[in-house]
Amino acid sequence: MKKDDPELNTETIAETQHYMAWQADEPDGETTYHVEIGNVTLHFFQEEWDEFLSLVKQLK
């Protein structure tokens, strides 16, 4: 899955100089979430994304 795929509707959620989070509306109707950290991209389904956000909120 690539962010610039013309068949996916994507939206940037947040972006800094080195990191980016974005979401994609998949053809099957599901929304997926992606976090780009350098040359690594983490992919999440909704339930995983919710848990990841909960984890991030616990960071200090």
On whether residue 2 sits in a domain, the answer given is no
pTM given for the model: 0.83
Q: What is the DSSP letter of 49?
A: H
The answer as to whether 41 is a domain residue is: yes
Give the SS3 label for residue 23.
Answer: strand
In a domain, 1, yes or no: no
Q: Confirm whether 18 is domain-assigned.
A: yes
Whether residue 12 has pLDDT greater than 60: yes
- Assign 7 a pLDDT band (cuts: 50, 70, 90): confident
Give the pLDDT confidence score for residue 1 in this predicted structure: 52
Dihedral in degrees, nearest 10, Cα atoms 24, 26, 42, 48? 100
| CA–CA dist 24, 10 (Å, integer) | 4
Question: Which domain covers residue 39, as residue numbers?
Answer: 9-57
Mean pLDDT of the chain: 92
